[in-house]
Structure 1
Amino acid sequence: MKKGIFIGLAILIFSLTSEFTFAAIVDTVVTQSKSMKKEIKAVVVKPQLYEGSAKRFPVLYLLHGAGGKYSDWLLNTKDKEAVKKLVDNFKIIVVCPDGGVTSWYFDSPIDPTYQYETYVSKELIDFIDGRYRTINDKTGRAITGLSMGGHGGLYLGFRHQDVYGACGSMSGGVDIRPFPENWNIAKRLGPYNQFPERWEANTVINLTHLLSPNKLAIIFDVGRNDFFYDVNVALHDKLIARNIPHDFTVRPGVHNFEYWENAIAYQMMYFSKFFEKNQK
C-alpha cells in the first residue's frame, strides 16, 4: 500500500472514530442519608450534551444486585462503555446508587443501618434533583435494576408511584419467600418462620394490589435458565390476571452480566419512549 493512501485511510478512520466517540460524563458523588446517619456513594452518568445545555433531562435510577456496589454497572459489563453509550444515545441521566451489600432496597424493621427505601426514593432523589438539571417529576423518572436491584426497581416503583412514572427489573428476585435462607434477607426482615408477615408485605409479587391499569409503566425480563425464572413468570401471570399492562420478556440467558448488558439496552429504549411520550 502506498504511503499516501495509508495516511488517507488513517485520517478517515480517525475521523469516523471521533465522530462516533461516546463522551458521557461520569460523576462519583457522596450523598448523605439522614435516615441511616451515613455517607453513601453513587455514580451519575450524564449525556455528553448535558454540559453547555440549559435543558432538563429524565433520570433512570439503576440498581445493583446482592453483593454488589454502586460502580458495578460501569465496571462489570464486557463493554466498559456500555452504559455510557446508552446514556448518550437516549440522552438520559443514569444514577447508580450504592444499595448496601444485601439491602433488598426496603427499610429494615430490625436494622436502622438498612433504610434503603427511604434513601433511594427520598434522600437520593432530593440530592440528584437539587444538584443536576433533571425533570423533577415522575414523568421524567424511572427505576430498574438487576437481581436484588430488580426486586428494588419494582418494589420501589410499585410503592412510590408518585415518585416514579416507570419501573423495571432484570432477573429480579420478585418473590423472596422461596429463598428464606439466601442473601441475608432474614437479617433485614427477621427469619421467615418467625416473621412471615414481614416477608409477605415486602415481596414484589404481593404488591400488585397497589397497581391500577396504565398508571405505571412496567417492564421486566428474565433469562430462561435463571434461578429466578419461575418467580418472574408467576409475577407476569398475576399481572395479566389483574389486567395490568406490562412488558415482559423471556430470552436465552442465565444470571450474569452478559445477560444484563443485553437486557439494559432494551430497557433503556423502553424508558426513553416513556419519557418522550410524557414530555411532549
Structure 2
Amino acid sequence: MRYCFWLLHLWFAYLVFHPLVGWGQTSPNKEFALPLHGEWRIAFGFYAASREALLPDYNDSSWVSISVPGFWNDYEISRGFSGLALYRRTFVLPETAKGKPLYLLLGRINSIDEAYLNGQLIGKTGSMENPADGELRAYLLPDSLIAYGKTNTLAVRVFCKNFDGGIYAGAGPDKKLIGIFTKTAMRAALQQPAVPAPDSIAQIIRRTVEVMDTMLISRQPEAYMSLVSERYFNNGTRYAEQKLFAQAITQRLAGATITYHDFQVYQVSDSLVVADYDSEIKWQNKVSYLGHDERYFQLENGKWLEIGNQSRFFDLEINSAYMRRKVSVGVYLPPSFLQHRRRAYPVLYLLHPQGGTHLLWREIELDRFLDSLISRKQIIEMIVVMPNEHGSYYVNSKDGKRAYENFFLEELPDLVEEDYRAIRQRAARAVAGVSWGGAAALFLALKTEKGQALFSAVGSLMGTLDHRPATQTAIDGGDHSFWNAYMATSLLERSADSTLRATDFFFLTGTQNLFLPSHQAAVRILRRRRVKHTFLTFEGSHDFSFWTAHLDKLFKFHSEVFQRQLRRRS
C-alpha cells in the first residue's frame, strides 16, 4: 500500500516540474518567454570541473560551440564520451521581464546536473547513487541573482557514465525548446492547461487550499477529507488511501506554518481546475519543505472538491528490502480502469534497455500509444508495470548487496497487483523488454522456479541475447563468468520441457542486428524441443528507431496470448 499526497514532498529538497510541452511570448498580461535553445559553449573533463568556469567573467572563447539540446553522441567532438561536461550560455533579460517569478526550463538531461546562474547554484537533480536519466529539469530563478537589462550567465554541469549523456530534449513538437519562462508561459510550452481560471474561481480554490491545509495542521483530518471527492485518484492514490495518509500526516504537521508562492489556478474544463503553486512549510522555525505542488479540483453539486489528477500513467517509489533502496516504478492503467472499479486486468511487466530508466516510456508517450491500440481494438486492455533497473542490469549482484531479481520476483508483484486490480494468475501475467531488457525478460522468467511460476509469456524486442556485459565490479565482482547463468541459449537448454511448453515466447529483431545470430540459435533450440514461439525479423539494426517502429507487435503478441490463456481458463 502506498500513501501518496502533496505533502509527501517533505522528504525532497528541490523544485521539480513534471513533464508536459509549445510555448508563449511576452504578452500584455506580463507573461514572458526567452528561448535558449541553439548555440551553447561546452567543455569536458578537467575544464568542466573548474569552479572558475561557473563565474560570469570566465573566458570561454576557446570552448567548442554546439547546438543544444542534443546527445553528446550527436556531436563529433564528444562522440563516445562519458563523464563530466559543462555548458555555458549568456543571455539578457529585459526590464519588462520583471514582476513575476521566472523559471529555467532545461528540458531532459542524462544523468546528473547542477545549474548555476551568475555563479550561484539554483538547482540540481540526481546523484551518483540515484541518477535522474530523462527527468525534466525546471528551476526557479531567484530574482536576487538576475541582472535585468544586463548580461547573465548560465552554467550547467552534466555528468553521465554512459555515452548518451547531455541536455538532449526540450519542449515543443520538435522537443527542442528550452528557455526562461513565467509559469503560465512554461505551462503552455509544456502543453499543460495554461488558461487562467476566472478570478472568482481562483479565489475560491486558493481559499479552499488554505482551509484544507489549516485543517491538517490543526489535526482535523475528517474536516480535510470533507473537501476531497470520493472519486479522488492522484498518481495511483485512491480516496481511502488519502484518508489514511491524512490521518497520519496531521501528527507531523501540528504547529507548522505554510506560505504559498506564485499561486496560479488554471482552467481544465468548465468544472475542473488545477492549482499550481510553490509552498514553504516551516516547523519549529525551520524550513522542512520547499517545493512545487499541483492539485486538481472539480465542481461537484455546487462545491469545489479535490479530485486528484486522475492520471492512469504515473510513477511509484517502492521501498525494497532486497535492493536496500527505493525503486522507481512506472504504471500504466487501461482506459476503463477508473470507470469500472470491479474489473480486473492482465498485467505485462515491461523492462527498459540498460543505460536508460523507466522514464523512457514516458518520453515515447507510451500511454497514448497504448490507448490508441486499445481504442482501435488492436490489443485488449492490460496493466503495464515498468520498473527502473537502477544500474542493476536486472540481476542479483554477486555480493548480495543489490538483489534485483528477488525484488522483481518476490516484492514487486505483491506491491502493485492487488492495488491495481491485476488478475493474479500466471495466465494473466507476462514479462517483456527491449534490448538488454529483452534479455532480462527471458532470464527473469526462466532462471528460477519463482519466475517460471509467475510468467506465462516472454517477449524480447531487439534483445541482446547471449551478450556478456563488460565487467561491472559492483555487480559481478570482477568475475566475468558470473554472466554465464544469464545467457539465453544456456537458459533454454537447461529449462525443462514442461517449463518451456507452458510458456509463449516472442522474439523480434533486425536483419542487420549484431545479435541476430543469438536469436537464431535460441529459435533453433525452441524448434528442436517443439516449443511454441514467434520469431520475426525486419530490415534494420539495433537502434531506437527500429524498436519504436515495431513496439506494437510486441503488445499485439501479448494481447493475443492473454486472450487465449484466459479463454482457456474461463
TM-score by length of 1: 0.81
- Where in structure 2 are the equivalents of 1:133-152 lying within 5 Å? 133-152=421-440
Q: CA deviation at 1:279?
A: 1.6
Whether the 8 Å contact between 1:24 and 1:45 is mirrored in structure 2 is no
The equivalent residue for 1:201 is 485
- Where in structure 2 are the equivalents of 1:66-105 lying within 5 Å? 66-76=354-364, 81-86=368-373, 89-101=379-391, 103-105=392-394
Whether the 8 Å contact between 2:312 and 2:334 is mirrored in structure 1 is yes
Larger radius of gyration: 2
More strand by share: 2
> Cα 1:264–1:73, aligned 2, differ >3 Å: closer, same or farther?
same
Say whether residues 1:233 and 2:524 are aligned partners: no
> Cα 1:112–1:84, aligned 2, differ >3 Å: closer, same or farther?
farther
Q: CA deviation at 1:80?
A: 7.6
> Cα 1:185–1:86, aligned 2, differ >3 Å: closer, same or farther?
farther
- 1:174 corresponds to which of 462, 465, 474: 465
More helix by share: 1
Once residues 361 and 389 of structure 2 are traced to their aligned partners in structure 1, the CA distance between those partners, rounded to angstroms, is 13
Q: CA deviation at 1:52?
A: 2.0
Ranked by relative contact order (alpha carbons within 8 Å, sequence separation 6 or more), the top structure is: 1
> Cα 1:30–1:141, aligned 2, differ >3 Å: closer, same or farther?
same
Whether the 8 Å contact between 2:330 and 2:387 is mirrored in structure 1 is yes
**How many residue pairs end up in the alignment?**
248
- Give deviations 1:204-255, integer Å, cap 9, x for gaps: 2211121425210111111112222222222112222232221111111222
Counterpart residue type for residue 207 of structure 1:
L
- Give deviations 1:104-145, integer Å, cap 9, x for gaps: 2121113513x2111122211111113110001111100000
Once residues 396 and 331 of structure 2 are traced to their aligned partners in structure 1, the CA distance between those partners, rounded to angstroms, is 23
Say whether residues 1:29 and 2:319 are aligned partners: no
**Counterpart secondary structure, 1:144:** strand
Say whether residues 1:155 and 2:155 are aligned partners: no
> Cα 1:157–1:86, aligned 2, differ >3 Å: closer, same or farther?
farther
**Counterpart secondary structure, 1:49:** coil
The equivalent residue for 2:399 is 110
Counterpart residue type for residue 419 of structure 2:
R
Once residues 509 and 319 of structure 2 are traced to their aligned partners in structure 1, the CA distance between those partners, rounded to angstroms, is 33
Deviating more after overlay: 61-70 vs 27-36: 27-36
Whether the 8 Å contact between 1:45 and 1:87 is mirrored in structure 2 is no
> Cα 1:87–1:111, aligned 2, differ >3 Å: closer, same or farther?
farther
TM-score by length of 2: 0.41
The equivalent residue for 2:411 is 123
Whether the 8 Å contact between 2:335 and 2:371 is mirrored in structure 1 is no
The equivalent residue for 1:210 is 495
Using the aligned pairs only, state the percent identity. 25
Whether the 8 Å contact between 1:223 and 1:255 is mirrored in structure 2 is yes
Where structure 2 has 5 or more consecutive residues not aligned to the other structure, the ranges are: 1-309
The equivalent residue for 1:64 is 352
> Cα 1:130–1:32, aligned 2, differ >3 Å: closer, same or farther?
farther
Once residues 239 and 277 of structure 1 are traced to their aligned partners in structure 2, the CA distance between those partners, rounded to angstroms, is 21
RMSD (CA atoms): 2.2
Whether the 8 Å contact between 2:526 and 2:532 is mirrored in structure 1 is yes
- Give deviations 1:175-196, integer Å, cap 9, x for gaps: 024x5x3xx55642244xx452
Where structure 1 has 5 or more consecutive residues not aligned to the other structure, the ranges are: 1-22
**Counterpart secondary structure, 1:234:** helix
The equivalent residue for 1:252 is 539
Counterpart residue type for residue 399 of structure 2:
I
